Structure 1
Amino acid sequence: MSGLVIAGHPWTFWLGWVWTVSTVTLAVWIILQRKSPVSTLAWIMSLALMPVLGYFIYAYFGPQRIKRQRLRRWHHKAAAMSRQDREALRAEYTEVPEWARQHAALIERASGLPLSSAREVALLPSGGATLRALLREVERARCHIHLEYYIFEPDQTGTQLLQALTARARAGIKVRLLVDAVGSPRLLSRPHRRLLDDFHAAGGEFAVFHPTRLDRLRPLVNLRTHRKIVVIDGRTGFAGGINVTDDENEEIRSDAYRDTHLLLRGGAVRWLQYVFLQDWRYAEGPVPAPDEDLLPQEPPGSLPVQVVASGPDSDTEAIHRAMIDALNFARERAWLATPYFVPTEAALAALTNAALRGVQVKLIVPERSDSRIVTAAARSYYPDLQDAGVLVFEYHGRMFHAKTLVVDERYGMVGSANFDNRSFRLNFEVAAVVFDPGFNRQLAAMFDADLSHCRLVPETRRTPPHQRLFEAVARLASPLL
């Protein structure tokens, strides 16, 4: 019995042509994205095994470029205010280290956000503490409240906050809430529509970042806003790693994630405002013209603070570069905390270089993250780190979700970005860098407190052969994670 013949050729002939054409087309498409060679080759090799289907997989899961318009008027006004901050800071700190000036210049050129100042920077060590502070500031709002979250759950925590926002909107406060479509599907679902209907009825404005619609050919997993931003009256801001969910509220769940957030007051908040407004315009449409309420004139503070934002709308990878640069100028200590550790080659080299120079490098990661393959990929890097002298600690008991970096005696970073390819290159992230010894000591003390819940990973870690194989395979997928 002969096989299927089409137009004089066996079906395998046509299958081979379909495979070849789809693979070449897909390879050209991926190459034109001009991503890192390792990531590009990993995608081509993976998708070549899935002809035709690879088009849809890459379209909805692959890294792609997007273009967004810059809010030039907003940026010009905020930059003019920040120049006054910098002049006041120079007058107070006459001997600013060269590394700090260069680092601030790198961030500004990579992200467009210059050094600014703050009157107050407060560490918030948990979701419960963050929610309490947030509800307090929401109640004090007089003009507007802007919120942007990756995860906003309609659970006890989310309901409490959304009801507070609804009450303030009803009182005449302008409230804008932006959530990510992938991170907040339950809030957008039909069973919880009443919460949003009440919010809309009170005058609140709501937008969704990259809605998951099949008629829009964009990735479902990447190009997400992973940012957590709140700006109140243009004077008070929140940023960090804590989402709005019971999973991160220890006052509701005893096993809630361990995470870190920041409260800021002063001029640096204007740049959180700028980042939010840029995302809001991209997701929803025009925003109001610059005015005194949205960008109020704040007196310069005494704390040098720089907001750094990054995302797939830029090839500069501002947070990635900032962290590598901070590790490169470290001379005494570099303490990194991250829930997902899947470093780029440059980031791994920066960590190990610091340790080889004699810098005390400590890394805290969760014993088990909420992704088994990410945990395995992270552990595949342990030998490289330990051979260089990095001390690796695994946090036990609950999920560790803090994203912080302490360098030497006057540098601290808190933000939303994980130490992985996804945060560095595929999602929209934001962080705050504080150049202050007092803040550095507080952040270091928090890191030390977390170490009490950790175990030092031994250099002779015993791993069964099948687990070593799984970790090695997971590492191969690192560019895609």
Structure 2
Amino acid sequence: MTIILTLHTLLVLTFTIRILLRDDLSPPGRLAWFVVLNLLPYFGSAIYFLFGETDIGNRADVRHKEIFREIRAKASWFMGEPDNTDSLIEPTYQPGFRYAASINGFHPSAGNRAELMSDGDETLTRMVADIDAATDHVHVLYYIWLDDRTGRALAEALMRAARRGVTCRAMADGLGSRKLIKSELWQRMQQAGVQLAVALSLKHPIRTILTSRLDLRNHRKITVIDSRITYCGSRNSADPEFEVKAKYAPWVDIMLRFTGPVVVQNQLLFASDWMHATSESLDGIALSRGPVEGGFPAQVMGVGPTERHGATPHLFANLIACAQSELTLTTPYFVPDATVLEALCAAAFRGVNVSLIFPKKNDSWIVAAASHSYYHRLLDAGCIIYEFGEGLLHAKTLTIDGKISLIGSSNLDLRSFDLNYENNILLQDEATTQAIAGRQQTYISRSEVVELSTVLRWHYHRRIWHNVIATIGPVL
């Protein structure tokens, strides 16, 4: 009995000291781990060992730094100039663009244009047509790539392009697209000449567990065609019916088709992932940019576990602080850290019209419970919360003052903040922002307003449940 008690004490003490030694862990995160370790010491220790730290491994960190040194040395001209922020961006919004530039070194470049796709069918039709018209290269990266109508149509377009001599590179995340990677369709793509790579492969799961963690994923959705066209938004290579989670369907996504210098920035972000997965150099990836005429300023922003900690919440906080009159945000997964939560409340308190649109029914019960724990405080500050009830609203958008937009793959949750590789485009343009804001209004028209009186009437056991989940959220 004494031996068991001693081992128990050593186990808890070891992980407690490790948690106390971590400077990157927030006080709420540290507290959450203490709660779990004390209530469920053996389970908590095992979970901390498997999922407690966001370190992707020293080799990955070193390789990431090498890759971006090579990109800056060979392609800095495509990344934009630091002075562009002062010359292209309105002073009110410059802090947000400067912060975004500090993450990867991508600065705003003028000459961009964007089209908002009307729905999933138009997105697929336009993508396939652009791939069919490609003459030099096509690069795609998806977190989830299913063997469904959309997934097969894109795969077939890539195979057609490869057969006519276009260089096609396709990447899929090792976990999110695990079924496709093992499928006959994946093999057919390889046989047709499409170059394939797996992002964060799970080929050696034991080694991954010992050196990193299984749930560090590449959540990006990147499509680049001939360095002239790129698509950016929330949609994976999957049908809206989303067969793996069909009971939450349709999944409502948003996608923009961009042309201009921002395309090459997205190309470089894709290249960084490709170089990491294949150990190839940047030299084999075509980079070109057409003449800049008119258009709006935009820049790419990519985050992940090899970037600095807290980059995404800091970016959102900077952008929220720039808002002068209105701010509308859509996200399927809302579990903000204190930085983002305080920024939203502060914006509402100073008179900004803050509208938040979330799905009414979420595919993650953990996220749903944690999200609800923030409703009282947000509503009390003056934010307006809408719950979208016609499927799972998967769009990740932020519009500010009818001028600034952020669109991409980042959710407002701890996974996007700390664990996932994400890609986004930040832009300044009234026409594009108003188009996105118009789409946000269609979401609102199909949503229910959440009243503060309703939240106050929630039964005490429901409120306790929400707050318990939110308290241990960093563990989950």
Letter in 1 for 2:24: R
Q: Are 1:347 and 2:336 counterparts?
A: no
* Aligned counterparts of 1:205 and 1:59: Cα–Cα separation in 2: 35
* Aligned counterparts of 2:213 and 2:416: Cα–Cα separation in 1: 15
CA contact (8 A) 2:24 2:309 kept: no
The aligned residue for residue 408 of structure 1 is 401
Q: 1:49 to 1:174 in 2, by over 3 A?
A: farther
Shift in Å, 1:129: 2.2
Partner deviation per Cα, 1:395-443 (whole Å, 9 max, x = no partner): 0121111100011131011110111121112211111111111111111
Partner deviation per Cα, 1:237-284 (whole Å, 9 max, x = no partner): 11211001124579xx99421111121111111111111111112222
CA contact (8 A) 1:85 1:117 kept: no
Structure 2's unaligned 5+ residue stretches are none
Shift in Å, 1:317: 3.3
Q: Are 1:108 and 2:106 counterparts?
A: no
Q: 1:472 to 1:249 in 2, by over 3 A?
A: closer
Partner deviation per Cα, 1:345-387 (whole Å, 9 max, x = no partner): 1100000000000110000000011011211111111100010
Shift in Å, 1:33: 6.5
Which of 14, 17, 29 does residue 25 from structure 1 map onto?
A: 14
- Aligned residue runs from structure 1 range 63-462, under 5 A: 63-66=53-56, 67=61, 68-69=64-65, 70-83=67-80, 90=87, 96-189=89-182, 192=183, 194-212=184-202, 213-216=205-208, 217-218=210-211, 222-247=215-240, 255-289=249-283, 294-301=286-293, 302-461=295-454, 462=457
Shift in Å, 1:288: 4.3
CA contact (8 A) 2:399 2:436 kept: yes
Shift in Å, 1:221: 5.0
Partner deviation per Cα, 1:207-251 (whole Å, 9 max, x = no partner): 11222222322555532111101111122111211001124579x
CA contact (8 A) 2:54 2:213 kept: no
* Aligned counterparts of 1:419 and 1:165: Cα–Cα separation in 2: 32
CA RMSD of aligned residues (A): 2.4
Q: Secondary structure at the match of 1:473?
A: helix
Structure 1's unaligned 5+ residue stretches are 1-11
Which is helix-richer, 1 or 2? 2
Whichever of the two has the greater Rg, that structure is 1
Partner deviation per Cα, 1:179-204 (whole Å, 9 max, x = no partner): 11121121123xx2x21111111111
Partner deviation per Cα, 1:420-467 (whole Å, 9 max, x = no partner): 121112211111111111111111111111111001001111323332
Shift in Å, 1:84: 7.1
Q: 1:300 to 1:55 in 2, by over 3 A?
A: farther
* Aligned counterparts of 1:88 and 1:387: Cα–Cα separation in 2: 36
Q: 1:454 to 1:198 in 2, by over 3 A?
A: same
Partner deviation per Cα, 1:111-151 (whole Å, 9 max, x = no partner): 32111234321122432222112111111111111111110
The aligned residue for residue 458 of structure 2 is 463
The aligned residue for residue 475 of structure 2 is 480
* Aligned counterparts of 1:74 and 1:309: Cα–Cα separation in 2: 14
Q: 1:385 to 1:261 in 2, by over 3 A?
A: same
CA contact (8 A) 1:26 1:54 kept: no
Q: 1:306 to 1:318 in 2, by over 3 A?
A: farther
* Aligned counterparts of 2:111 and 2:475: Cα–Cα separation in 1: 37
Point out the more displaced range, 388-397 or 120-129. Answer: 120-129
Identity %: 31
Letter in 2 for 1:13: T
Aligned residues: 459
